[in-house]
Amino acid sequence: MCEDELIPPQADMTEQEWLHTGSATTAGEPSMPTTGRTVPFVNRRTLLGGAMAGAALAVLPSPGQSPASAAARRGAPGAFPFPEHPNGKGEFAILVTGDAGTGDEAQYAVAAAARDVCQAERVGLAVGLGDNIYENGPESDDDSEFQDKFEKPNSGIDVPWLMVLGNHDCSGLIPGSGGDPSRGDREVAYAATSRRWYMPSRYYSVPLPAADPLVEFFAIDTIPWSSYVAQIDPRYRWDGPYMREQRNWLDGALRASRARWKVVFGHHPYLNNGKHGSAGSYDGFEIGNYTSGVHLKDMYDSVVAGRADLILSGHDHTLQILEPTARTGGTRQVVCGASAKTEDGKAHFAHPAAWQNFSDHGFMVLKVSGARLTIEAYTVDVATRKATLAHRTRQTRPVSAPAPAHA
Ligand SMILES: [Fe+2]
């Protein structure tokens, strides 16, 4: 059973409530919070979560395990190169997919449709937004699932794929729990042997082009802050060294970036009109400092909002291009998690949206030039393996232009 089906949707927070809810710590406090919210109620789902946490004890990783190997950071021999110049249309075009790793016909159909669009749009880079290997992530660094659920369906989309970890990639006994983050190291290790799969470490950045970046991508690991169970390994606790290091890294990397456009991408969304809801209120329940994503919301509030142009996320198997708001500091949330699965066909929340779709499979293409950032959403008919351009959104002003080099 997939975790996504295990937890029923519940709209436990209206948009207004979410907008007026501060971070888990003192407003404006940039440091890692030291206390979490208490469990407000105990119901069937909380009890279920507690049972899951207990079961997770049986699949704990070894403490102190390194999140990435030095070999993986060097990349694979013969890896597809990053684009150094805009395509013939004067843009960098990037394919965006999410929650794709089922190995089912729908994944292959969406990938086939995307392959055609990538050729027409001269796509030079791709993004995979997590849940890359359902249901429990790979069993080893060279698990055959990497072939069946990534390489084979994406054959012909011969570009670097910027990959981030999803909750299913970091699960052990309980599919989708996110309770075993160390399993994500296998996906980092796999990058050392794949021409497509790019994951030099569990979080990283990619400037494009490298020499004088127009856009910079910041890949983050949202799992330990959003797991359905409590993290038992001290390294991956919500206030443990791993999450402190990642938060400090992202803060510094965004500050140091000279790119005109900045794109943060991780599996769990900041804002979300799908059934899982937004960070801080995921799925309507929480276990201590986990599950609801309260500390992820705090990180998005404090580190990302108003500093990145886009947050790209999956987790919900939907297509959403939400509107930037004053609450987000002008940062736009995009959810693109319908590359193998779909949802229940309806919005569960009402954050302002430029366009959203809760029924169809699909993917998106992000186009970046000095003048504009364009997001194109495609729906896919699985039976015919054909894509239809459903919506296009453009923005022309970066939320945070870099300071002049001489300042
Ligand atoms: Fe997910």
User: Residue 50 and residue 48: Cα distance in Å, rounded?
Assistant: 5
Spacing, Cα 251 to ligand 1 middle (Å): 24
Lowest mean pLDDT among 7-21, 332-346, 373-387, 393-407: 7-21
Determine the distance separating the centroid of ligand 1 and the alpha carbon of 166, expressed in angstroms: 5
The CATH number for 164's domain is 3.60.21.10
Query: Does a structural domain hold residue 400?
Result: no
Is residue 398 exposed (0-12), middle (13-18) or buried (19+ Cβ within 10 Å)?
Answer: middle
Residue 69 lies in a domain: no
If pLDDT is split at 50, 70 and 90, which confidence band does 18 have? low
Asked, for residue 116, whether it belongs to a domain, the answer is: yes
Count CA atoms closer than 13 A to 350's CA, side-chain side.
6
The pLDDT score that the predictor gives to residue 287 is: 81
Residue 371 lies in a domain: yes
pLDDT at 382 over 70: yes
Query: How confident is the model over 157-182, as a mean pLDDT?
Result: 95
Q: Are 272 and 172 in contact (CB under 8 A)?
A: no
- CA–centroid distance, 71 to ligand 1, in Å, is 28
Taking the centre of ligand 1 as the mean of its atom positions, its distance from the CA of residue 372, in whole angstroms, is 30
Does residue 181 form part of some domain? yes
* Ligand 1 centroid to residue 101 C-alpha, Å: 11
Dump pLDDT digits (tens) for 101-147.
999 999 999 999 999 999 999 999 999 999 999 999 999 999 999 99
What is the average pLDDT across 366-385? 98
Asked whether residue 173 is assigned to any structural domain, the reply reads yes
Going from the Cα of 191 to the center of ligand 1, the distance in angstroms, rounded, reads 21
**Is residue 73 over pLDDT 50?**
no
**pLDDT greater than 80 at residue 384:** yes
State residue 97's pLDDT score: 99
Number of structural domains in the chain:
1
Q: Residue 29: which of 247, 206, 176 has the closest Cα?
A: 247
Looking at residue 17, its pLDDT comes to 55
How far away, in angstroms, is 193 Cα from ligand 1 center?
A: 25
- Average pLDDT, integer, range 33-45: 27
The domain in which residue 120 lies consists of: 3-8+82-395
Residue 77 within a domain: no
Q: Is the pLDDT of residue 219 over 80?
A: yes
Whole-number Å distance between alpha carbons of 159 and 81: 7
The answer as to whether 389 is a domain residue is: yes
Please state the pTM of the whole predicted model. 0.84
Ligand 1 centroid to 354 CA: how many Å? 23
pLDDT value at position 401? 66
